[in-house]
Amino acid sequence: MPAHSTTDRDQITRTSALPPDDSLRELLHNEVHARPPARIRLPALVVYVAVLNEGVSREMEWEHLKRLPGQEGLTLDQLSGNFQRLRFANHTLKWERHTEFTRYSVVQALPEKALQGCSDEEMLQSLVVDPQWLAQIPGKTITAIMLAMVHGDVDDPNAMRNMAAPWVEDPAMLASLLGIRRSCAMTDFRLRPSGFERIVVISPPNTSELRSGRTSQRLLELETYRLMALRGLPVAKELGSMLGQAETQLAEITAQMENTEASDQELLKQLIGLAARVERATAMHMYRFSATEAYYNLVEQRITQLRETPIPGTQTIGEFMQRRVAPAMTTVQATARRLGSLSQRIERASALLRTRVDIATETQNQMLLEKLTKGQALQLRLQTTVEGLSIAAISYYVVSLILYVGKAGKAAGLPINPEILAGALIPVVLLGIWWGTQRIHKILQEH
């Protein structure tokens, strides 16, 4: 029996031991490996830019990425998975495309004078990518961060503050120990004139490259998702006045519905206009409110993953987020509930107005039926009167015919008195014609 190679055995086992794959199996299976964290060797500088990609196609981003050194052979198919890590020299650029934004992360060695009061302009000049390339990224900037990652003693808070002071510069910086005192993150979440924020992460010398990569990813995603979540706040504030006016108008319409003299057509017109305004606002902004909730859930998840431990006398990043972001999220959630509630109240008012119109219509129909019934009764009486006159007229013509027949018989020599014959047959004629009329009525009723 011939021996099979390993590949042949795998193919035989795969094809014979399992049913055919679902069309989405491989795609879903590989989703957990779609965005692996970077491995960062300290000391390092991470330059991170996230841009809104509305109106920006994947082809435009591909053309921009091809402008990087050594990336002329990059194909569009390599960007089909919404994630790509590009390597050039000993540096790395990571590209990630999401539903509403695209992220670019450049990882390089930390410049020597970075933690000695180096300005953003000096830092940009020391980047491995051309600053003009960053400025020409397709899209609108939502987040820009310079993240410095260095080794240091995480057990000495004063030493860490002194190390981070030239980079963060704000004495009221935020700081917290991440994990089980494995690293320390410090920032002030302030925009500098260059448009960048600054964060510094200090880690012990034995910190692994993979852990440094996970730490940077969580901090960068935390700030990105925070800003994406806050995009719902201006929308909520803008809707506030419209919702107030709509609620007042609905109250007025409901009050007018209590007045029986108010025109149903006018009330219906006002209610339809109000419902259209509210539904338009719902269609335009409910997605943003849902996205805000989803982004805020990711913010809370990233805060939990940081596993912060407070440093005495310093506010933690998670505490800052809860105090500054939570009220805004409450406003957005309240506005979303208010919009949904208003839509339901308009629906109930519409149901009440429909009930009022139905009752009015039923009353009108009842009055019309009463008029029709009275008309039918009068018509029946008139018909009865006409039938009586008809019996008399028909009887008159029949008796006249009998009289003429009697005269004709007398003229023929028969011993007949025409007048007596006609007079004697009048009751018989009347009774016969009446019986015939009743018989016709009975036949018609049976049919």
From 392, 388, 390, 396, select the one nearest 423 (Cα to Cα): 396
Query: Given this model, what pLDDT does residue 59 score?
Result: 93
Residue with tokens 């019996």: 391
- Between vectors from CA 27 to CA 218 and to CA 5, what angle results, nearest 5°? 115
Q: Which two tokens stand for residue 49?
A: 């830019």
Q: Tell me how far apart the alpha carbons of residues 100 and 232 are, in angstroms, rounded to a whole number.
A: 13
> Is the previous residue joined to 138 through a cis bond, with omega within 30 degrees of 0?
no
Q: How much is the pLDDT for 7?
A: 47
Q: Where are the beta strands (DSSP E) in 110-196?
A: 140-151, 174-178, 183-187
Report in angstroms the alpha-carbon separations of 197 from 51, 110, 193, 224, 331: 15, 16, 10, 12, 26
Q: How many CB atoms lie within 10 A of CB 188?
A: 19
Q: Distance between CA atoms of 193 and 367, rounded to whole angstroms?
A: 79
Residue of 168 and 447 predicted with greater confidence: 168
pLDDT tens-place string over residues 195-248: 999 999 999 988 888 899 999 999 999 999 999 999 999 999 988 888 888 888
CB neighbours of 64 closer than 8 A, spacing ≥ 6? 133, 136, 137, 138
| CA distance linking residue 325 with residue 22, whole number of Å | 42
Q: How far apart are CA 356 and CA 367, in angstroms?
A: 17
- What is the rounded CA–CA span in Å between residue 212 and residue 197? 19
**Per-residue model confidence (pLDDT) at position 447:** 67
Residues 6+ apart with CB under 8 A from 196: 120, 144, 145, 146
pTM comes to 0.74
Q: What is the pLDDT of residue 147?
A: 93
- Does the pLDDT of residue 145 top 80, yes or no? yes
Segment (H or E) for 86: strand 83-88
Note the pLDDT tens digit of each residue in 38-96: 788 889 999 999 999 999 999 999 999 999 888 888 888 888 888 888 887 778 899 99
Whether residue 377 has pLDDT greater than 90: no
Strand order in the sheet with 91-97: 83-88, 91-97, 101-109, 44-52, 140-151, 197-203, 183-187, 174-178, 308-310
Mapping DSSP to helix (H, G, I), strand (E, B) and coil, where does residue 137 land?
coil
pLDDT at residue 256 above 70? yes
For residue 261, pLDDT beyond 70: no
